[in-house]
Amino acid sequence: MRIRLASILLSSCITGALASHSSSGSDGKSNGKPNSKTPPASTAEPCICKEYSQIAAAVANCTDIVLSNIAAPNGSSINLSGLKTGTTVTFEGLTTFGWVNSSSFNPITISGEGITITAKKGAVIDGNGQAYWDGLGSNGGLPKPDHFIVVDKVTGNSVIEKLYIRNWPVHLFDITGCENVVFQDMTLNNAAGDAPNSRSNGLAAAHNSDGFDVSSSYNITIRRNFVHNQDDCVAITSGNNMTVSGMTCEGSHGLSIGSIGGKSNNNVTNIHFADSLLINTQAGARIKTNYNYTGFISNITYENIVLQNITQYGIDIQQDYLNGGPTGIPSNGVIIENVLMKKINGYVASDAQPYYILCGDGSCSNIVFEDVKVTGGEASSCNYKVSGCPVSS
Ligand SMILES: *[C@@H]1O[C@H](CO)[C@@H](O)[C@H](O)[C@H]1NC(C)=O
Ligand SMILES: *[C@@H]1O[C@H](CO)[C@@H](O)[C@H](O)[C@H]1NC(C)=O
Ligand SMILES: *[C@@H]1O[C@H](CO)[C@@H](O)[C@H](O)[C@H]1NC(C)=O
Ligand SMILES: *[C@@H]1O[C@H](CO)[C@@H](O)[C@H](O)[C@H]1NC(C)=O
Ligand SMILES: *[C@@H]1O[C@H](CO)[C@@H](O)[C@H](O)[C@H]1NC(C)=O
Ligand SMILES: *[C@@H]1O[C@H](CO)[C@@H](O)[C@H](O)[C@H]1NC(C)=O
Ligand SMILES: *[C@@H]1O[C@H](CO)[C@@H](O)[C@H](O)[C@H]1NC(C)=O
Ligand SMILES: *[C@@H]1O[C@H](CO)[C@@H](O)[C@H](O)[C@H]1NC(C)=O
Ligand SMILES: *[C@@H]1O[C@H](CO)[C@@H](O)[C@H](O)[C@H]1NC(C)=O
Ligand SMILES: *[C@@H]1O[C@H](CO)[C@@H](O)[C@H](O)[C@H]1NC(C)=O
């Protein structure tokens, strides 16, 4: 018995529970697990993975997993898709990724019910963005993993928190088909991608580096996160009942709904953005829809948002996107109703506009501004006649 378990221990990170059940009287060495604790009565002791190769067995067998200084080799993902219900995964130390010549490769995948993904203090997840960045993101250039972390069908009061993530290649969180999940207290730092590199022709090296992309999900909370990136801080493209609050977004494209239209789900309802600070972002509060498509956007509130040095539009609602860019010609197939902009204050850069609203013919209704004052920049432009533009000086 002792010999069989020992050989298992060598090849996996199933340390705590099995080791302590089997080895009272042994030296208690278990792949670096601190052995000062009393042996556990249950299998609640963590499985500590110190090698990439140990992760699959831990995911299949453990409910308390520590990923300690994992270096994922070229072409290898950290696959947390098969987590047992109620599992906690804790990142520790430096997690790194190799290289892969693919856009569809997902470096980290997460699925499960009632799970917690967290990190010890000082832990860093580094996406190896420098190996991919070429200023083009997912619009062209070299193949690069399009979604760094795919959070798919996570349910049951799950929590993803405290991760410090830097240098992701293109989009970061792709959150889809999820219900009752909280994303909190994370630092997402892609600041290194602001500078051009030898491949980016003078452009910021990182591109399309959205922080949180959310689709087809329900009851999602995103709170108290810091994001420094080069595209949307948060972008919600479909789903219902979400709160985004306590965000600090720097250098991004802001807090966005959209772009809506032409996707498998084009309904976005009951979304509350609150208590957030946007610094040097391209837009502040933004709703954009795609030209000639249909969709439904209802009950969107932006409340208590501070804007500093916004470089294009402080508050932006536009219905003229085509092939990823605005055309100036709106269409009315996506309904936008019940939008409340409340307590939004701050200033835009000198060549920006405080407000920009370009609705299609009859497709916007009940857009309300309350206690909104964005200053600076050039004249605003709002074609939503009921409210016009709020005052900006
Ligand atoms: C689960 O752990 C056992 C050892 O306890 C190992 O033999 C087995 O391969 C693991 N399962 C998977 C799917 O890795
Ligand atoms: C990830 O693991 C799940 C089950 O645990 C498996 O079904 C899936 O194929 C794996 N994905 C990859 C990309 O290896
Ligand atoms: C991983 O890929 C990089 C980039 O192509 C290459 O330089 C390196 O040698 C590869 N590592 C291994 C272990 O194959
Ligand atoms: C990466 O894949 C593309 C095809 O998608 C191929 O043209 C290119 O040569 C590959 N690059 C490397 C370094 O393997
Ligand atoms: C929403 O999710 C939270 C946990 O994230 C849960 O406590 C709450 O009950 C859920 N609310 C609804 C209406 O499902
Ligand atoms: C979520 O939706 C349900 C029903 O659609 C509603 O009763 C509830 O108040 C909503 N919760 C939140 C947090 O918006
Ligand atoms: C989207 O909303 C419309 C209008 O409320 C509704 O008819 C449609 O069923 C919804 N579609 C989805 C996929 O929820
Ligand atoms: C405003 O933001 C732009 C673009 O991010 C930046 O270049 C500029 O330095 C910022 N200005 C101030 C005063 O912070
Ligand atoms: C928009 O739709 C109309 C009506 O279907 C069509 O005539 C027009 O060509 C479309 N425009 C574009 C730019 O796709
Ligand atoms: C919008 O909010 C109102 C008031 O809370 C609610 O009655 C209505 O059902 C919501 N609309 C949608 C499409 O969820």
**In a domain? residue 239:** yes
User: Among the three residues 62, 87, 102, which one is the final residue of a domain in this structure?
Assistant: 62
How many angstroms separate the alpha carbon of residue 99 from the centre of ligand 2? Answer: 19
Query: What residues line ligand 5, using a CB cutoff of 6 Å?
Result: 157, 180, 182, 219, 221
**In a domain? residue 330:** yes
Domain co-membership, 29 together with 88: no
User: Among the three residues 41, 62, 83, which one is the final residue of a domain in this structure?
Assistant: 62
**Residue 22 dihedral angles phi and psi, to the nearest 5°:** -95, -15
Domain co-membership, 283 together with 137: yes
Domain co-membership, 58 together with 117: no
Which pLDDT does position 26 carry in this prediction? 35
How many angstroms separate the alpha carbon of residue 123 from the centre of ligand 8? Answer: 30
**In a domain? residue 387:** no
Domain co-membership, 303 together with 246: yes
Domain co-membership, 377 together with 274: yes
Domain co-membership, 208 together with 250: yes
Residue with CA closest to ligand 1 atom 7? 8
359 or 385: which leads in pLDDT: 359
Kindly tell me if the per-residue pLDDT of 120 is higher than 80.
yes
CATH, residue 331: 2.160.20.10
Query: Using an 8 Å Cβ cutoff, are 144 and 118 in contact?
Result: no
Which pLDDT does position 392 carry in this prediction? 74
**In a domain? residue 249:** yes
DSSP 8-state code for residue 32: T
Residue type, 66: V
| pLDDT band at residue 46 under the 50/70/90 scheme | confident
Kindly tell me if the per-residue pLDDT of 54 is higher than 70.
yes
Which pLDDT does position 375 carry in this prediction? 97
User: Among the three residues 30, 62, 94, which one is the final residue of a domain in this structure?
Assistant: 62
Residue with CA closest to ligand 10 atom 1? 299
Residue with CA closest to ligand 7 atom 14? 267
| pLDDT band at residue 14 under the 50/70/90 scheme | low
How many angstroms separate the alpha carbon of residue 299 from the centre of ligand 10? Answer: 6
| pLDDT band at residue 387 under the 50/70/90 scheme | confident
How many angstroms separate the alpha carbon of residue 60 from the centre of ligand 3? Answer: 28
Neighbours of 386 (CB within 10 A): 10
* Residue 14 alpha carbon, nearest atom of ligand 1: 5
pTM score, two decimals?
A: 0.91
* Residue 142 alpha carbon, nearest atom of ligand 4: 1
147 among known catalytic residues? no
State the chain's mean pLDDT as an integer: 91
Domain co-membership, 131 together with 57: no
**Is any ligand 3 atom within 6 A of the Cβ of residue 101?**
no
Q: Domain residues for 303? A: 63-382
Query: Using an 8 Å Cβ cutoff, are 138 and 113 in contact?
Result: no
Q: What is the pLDDT of residues 201-248, one digit of tens each?
A: 999 999 999 999 999 999 999 999 999 999 999 999 999 999 999 999
Q: What is the pLDDT of residues 199-208, one digit of tens each?
A: 999 999 999 9
Kindly tell me if the per-residue pLDDT of 89 is higher than 70.
yes
How many angstroms separate the alpha carbon of residue 62 from the centre of ligand 5? Answer: 26
**Spatial distance between the Cα atoms of 174 and 138, rounded to a whole number of angstroms:** 14
To test the pocket of ligand 5, the residue of 180, 218, 242, 269 to mutate (highest count of ligand atoms within 8 Å of its CB) is 180
Domain co-membership, 164 together with 44: no
**In a domain? residue 262:** yes
The residue written with tokens 């047992």 in the block is 84
Query: What residues line ligand 2, using a CB cutoff of 6 Å?
Result: 77, 79, 81-82
Q: What is the pLDDT of residues 246-277, one digit of tens each?
A: 999 999 999 999 999 999 999 999 999 999 99
**In a domain? residue 391:** no
**Is any ligand 7 atom within 6 A of the Cβ of residue 265?**
yes
Provide the domain count of the chain: 2
Which pLDDT does position 30 carry in this prediction? 39
Length of the chain: 393
**Is any ligand 3 atom within 6 A of the Cβ of residue 99?**
yes
Which pLDDT does position 58 carry in this prediction? 97
**Spatial distance between the Cα atoms of 101 and 97, rounded to a whole number of angstroms:** 13
**In a domain? residue 392:** no
Q: What is the pLDDT of residues 282-338, one digit of tens each?
A: 999 999 999 999 999 999 999 999 999 999 999 999 999 998 899 999 999 999 999
Domain co-membership, 25 together with 84: no
* Residue 79 alpha carbon, nearest atom of ligand 2: 1
Which pLDDT does position 1 carry in this prediction? 35
Domain co-membership, 36 together with 140: no
| pLDDT band at residue 15 under the 50/70/90 scheme | low
How many angstroms separate the alpha carbon of residue 25 from the centre of ligand 3? Answer: 44
What is the mean pLDDT of the segment spanning 39-64? 82
Question: What are the C-alpha distances in Å from 37 to residues 23, 154, 278, 297?
Answer: 14, 32, 45, 54
Which pLDDT does position 323 carry in this prediction? 84
Residue tagged active-site, from 171, 207, 228, 253? 253
Domain co-membership, 359 together with 345: yes
**In a domain? residue 94:** yes
Domain co-membership, 204 together with 261: yes
Kindly tell me if the per-residue pLDDT of 3 is higher than 50.
no
